[in-house]
Structure 1
Amino acid sequence: MQLSYWELKSWFSNVDFTIVGSGIVGLHTALRLRERFPKAKIILLEKGILPQGASTKNAGFACFGSISEIIDDLKTHSEEEVIQLISKRYHGLQLLRKNLGDENLDFKPFGGYEIFLKEDESFYIECLQRISFINDIIKPLFKTEVFSKEIDRFGFGNTFEYLIFNPLEGQIDTGKMMQSLLKKVYQNDILIVNHQTVGSYTEINNGVEVITNNLSFKTNKLLFTTNGFASQLTNNRVTPARAQVLITKPIENLDIKGTFHLDRGYYYFRNIDNRILFGGGRNLDFEGETTTELKTTELIQNRLEDLLKTVILPNTAFEIEHRWSGIMGVGNHKKPIVEQLSNHVFCGVRMGGMGVAIGSLIGQELADLV
């Protein structure tokens, strides 16, 4: 693409910071850089029309981990590491709410619930038995008992009598969150250039030469916030994980309110606009869902529909209105990667499916590395 003199002068000359990826992490990185460097020229490059990974495609859970996820994490991480993860997620959510305001997020403090299928009885009993232990180890962080046992008042099918409730969990409107973030970025004189895929970059003495599908330019610092698309960048420490979602048409007199976790967090659903938004199921096909293709599959979509009919809405008629998918970034460890890769190149990736919770905090940490 041939740029004019004006385009080169106004947009692509004397660039201080270039951020690849305009999702939650990228936008917060840009805003933090603007705080630190008021006169810097900051550009975000985005390959999609909208943020392409999970930032505009997630379920809008303001959560920090269900009890089953915490128990599973304790099997592969130390107790201290798990507490640090929960702390990051919780403080990241508080930072997001502080930065944008609950009204702009459409934050609803309905609480979160974990439900258990009848065929998972042994794990259900384990989770109930460990409520007290989990509450004890996270009490220094929250100063209160977080998890409790509650009777199922929603009429779910094929599940146990009790749910595990977390009053500190909430839900947000993902679209409103991203619109508010974008507005704030524009107000801070930060440029977003869409339809730009970074093909390569070369570090030079005092910066980086960036080559995209359309242009090349020099930047002093290059920061990657591409999360699920960052495999090569981090020597395969980030694995893409597709999350498939569906949403129903409006349901009259829908009485389900809250965020709900099922099957160790592999399934999740919530109410929104008198509908049920339901996602997950990558555990049905880990290999097939280790992809960056934004598609849906019959295997997972059929399972989501079956769980809607038999578990979530067993006595309620519904119709599916829309389906989509997003790409998360996961790995062997749940701690995000915030690193300086070379003299002028940095990255903040591997959100582990918790981008809403920790994206703002990771963006801030990444900007503070520079």
Structure 2
Amino acid sequence: MTDAAVADRSGWVALAGTYKNFPALAGASKADWLVIGGGFTGLAAARRLAELHPNHRIVLIDRKRLGQGASGRNSGFAVSREMPGPSELEKPAGRAAYLAQAAIHQAAGAEVKRLIDELRIDCDYDPNGYIFAVHERDKFKALEERVNAINDLGGEAKLLDAAALRSRLGIAFYNHGLWIGGGNALLQPARFAKGLIDALPATVECYENTEAVKITHEPGGGATVSLRDGHIRAARVIIGLNAFMPRLGVKRGRVFPISLTASLTRPLTPAEEEAIGHAGPWGGLCPIEGGATVRLTNDRRILMRNTAEYEPDGISQAMLAKRRAWHEMGLRHRFPFLAKDAIEFTWSGHMCASRNWSFVFEELSHGVFAAGCYNGAGLARGTLLGRLIAEHASGETSPLIENALAREKPSWVPTGPLFTLIAKIRLAHELQAAKSEH
């Protein structure tokens, strides 16, 4: 296979069905509300604004296609319960911080489920949790303590040995792990995003291929946003750009993009189904940085993601071909019976990260708000915080809004060549340390 043969095409998006088309926005215009970014955050914010302000002009813009950026390219884990780390187990302060963060996570998972139910979105929603597992046992320590802590803190977790993992997953690769339920779910992310788009209130004006290139904060509140072919003045602006916030000068030196690549196979053959014992759908995460994310989907495909890199300019086609080879390697480790040409789709995307794993949720200036940087948990957290930032911008308050405002803000990181060097070295080290888990 040549490099040119690997198209950057999300399998989730390709399989989600036909998306609505929206025009580009050009010329000069005004709006009561402008939402920048048509991913999970922006879609949730626009929906809530339409509910709260039915007589206002609400404009939603996206640089490319609504719902087909990072939201249509993630791995489809709706995080409601995170696994506590050692620091969150050892001291009361750590447990208190975990519980405060957990309130956001649990509400986020519930928000995803609420929208799926209310809007009747068909996205293969699976509420049966997912698994953290490793091939090398010594890379996942204090497992019993973690299980006990999760259960003690109101979650739901079970220890899984090699035999239990093989029975559940249908493969012998993993030897040590735990299952976490309590609201954790799997779904087809592009179909969820498409469902949100299809069900947007009619009062939300949507525009695609409309890039915001500059934001000018107005002294009296709100902002004027320069577009490629015009500008729009809005009394209130919500920025939901995640990894691309710094392009508008937002949180530069606080958040940064991590480039991820993934592949999705064609459906399994009858012989391949037999080889895994007709295992039910599952999702597996690695508890160490740099390890692989794997899913067996409802439509009997296998998702493989085992890269994480700092490539702020994105993944080129030649780079994508090499990452696809890494995905093939990861598949062979777990599914040795799978044919080499089983991969049907390969794509890249960006995750927004911060040095201290904190998210953005705040008013930047009078009438200009931002939410984003979910550190790998954007499907559920972005859906919730998009709704909450719309409510906060509308003058509402609630315990969840107060919780989000009270979270530690993303800490400073260097910019320029120094950060590029540091980030590349660290991520390369993490990938090497996790080599056995690829």
Into which bin does the TM-score normalised by the smaller protein fall?
Answer: 0.7 to 0.9
**1:301 maps to which of 324, 327, 336:** 324
Q: Does 1:191 align with 2:205?
A: yes
CA distance in 2, matches of 1:72, 1:197: 42
Aligned Cα root-mean-square deviation (Å): 2.6
Contact conserved, 1:247 with 1:322, CA < 8 A, in 2? yes
* Aligned residue number for residue 62 of structure 2: 46
Per the normalisation by structure 2, the TM-score is: 0.72
* Aligned residue number for residue 45 of structure 2: 29
Q: Does 1:84 align with 2:100?
A: yes
Deviation at 1:49, TM superposition (A): 2.7
- CA change 1:73–1:323 in 2 (3 A) is farther
Question: What does 1:69-218 align with in structure 2 at a 5 Å threshold?
Answer: 70-71=84-85, 74=88, 78-101=94-117, 103-118=121-136, 121-136=137-152, 138-139=153-154, 142=155, 145-150=156-161, 151-152=164-165, 153=167, 154-160=169-175, 162-168=176-182, 169-185=184-200, 187-206=201-220, 207-218=222-233
Is the partner of 1:104 in helix, strand or coil? coil
Give a deviation string over 1:201-246, Cα, whole Å, max 9, x none.
2223443221111111211112110001113311321111112110
**2:295 maps to which of 241, 249, 270:** 270
- CA change 1:188–1:229 in 2 (3 A) is same
Deviation at 1:37, TM superposition (A): 1.3
| Structure 1 stretches of at least 4 aligned residues deviating more than 6 Å after TM superposition | none
Contact conserved, 2:283 with 2:295, CA < 8 A, in 1? yes
Is the partner of 1:55 in helix, strand or coil? helix
- CA change 1:188–1:96 in 2 (3 A) is farther
Relative to structure 2, which stretch is displaced further, 241-250 or 48-57?
Answer: 48-57
Deviation at 1:39, TM superposition (A): 0.7
Contact conserved, 2:351 with 2:376, CA < 8 A, in 1? yes
CA distance in 1, matches of 2:282, 2:121: 17
Relative to structure 2, which stretch is displaced further, 293-302 or 349-358?
Answer: 293-302
CA distance in 1, matches of 2:48, 2:121: 22
* Aligned residue number for residue 235 of structure 2: 220
Note the residue ranges of structure 1 that are not aligned, 5 or more in a row: 1-6
Q: Does 1:343 align with 2:359?
A: no
- CA change 1:103–1:75 in 2 (3 A) is same
- CA change 1:305–1:361 in 2 (3 A) is same
For 1:214, the aligned partner's letter is D
CA distance in 2, matches of 1:198, 1:329: 18
CA distance in 1, matches of 2:125, 2:82: 19
For 1:148, the aligned partner's letter is L
* Aligned residue number for residue 385 of structure 2: 362
Q: Does 1:56 align with 2:72?
A: yes
Per the normalisation by structure 1, the TM-score is: 0.84
CA distance in 2, matches of 1:292, 1:229: 11
Note the residue ranges of structure 2 that are not aligned, 5 or more in a row: 1-24, 394-438
- CA change 1:30–1:277 in 2 (3 A) is same
CA distance in 2, matches of 1:280, 1:116: 13
CA distance in 1, matches of 2:50, 2:66: 22
Is the partner of 2:80 in helix, strand or coil? coil
Is the partner of 2:74 in helix, strand or coil? coil
Is the partner of 2:140 in helix, strand or coil? helix
Is the partner of 2:253 in helix, strand or coil? coil
* Aligned residue number for residue 3 of structure 1: none
CA distance in 2, matches of 1:34, 1:362: 16
- CA change 1:343–1:125 in 2 (3 A) is closer
Q: Does 1:314 align with 2:325?
A: no
Contact conserved, 2:121 with 2:192, CA < 8 A, in 1? no
Contact conserved, 2:43 with 2:196, CA < 8 A, in 1? yes
Deviation at 1:129, TM superposition (A): 4.3
For 1:360, the aligned partner's letter is T
- CA change 1:278–1:73 in 2 (3 A) is farther
* Aligned residue number for residue 260 of structure 1: 284
Q: How many residues align?
A: 345
Contact conserved, 1:270 with 1:276, CA < 8 A, in 2? yes
Deviation at 1:309, TM superposition (A): 0.5
For 1:302, the aligned partner's letter is A
Deviation at 1:269, TM superposition (A): 1.4
Deviation at 1:155, TM superposition (A): 4.3
Contact conserved, 1:23 with 1:53, CA < 8 A, in 2? yes
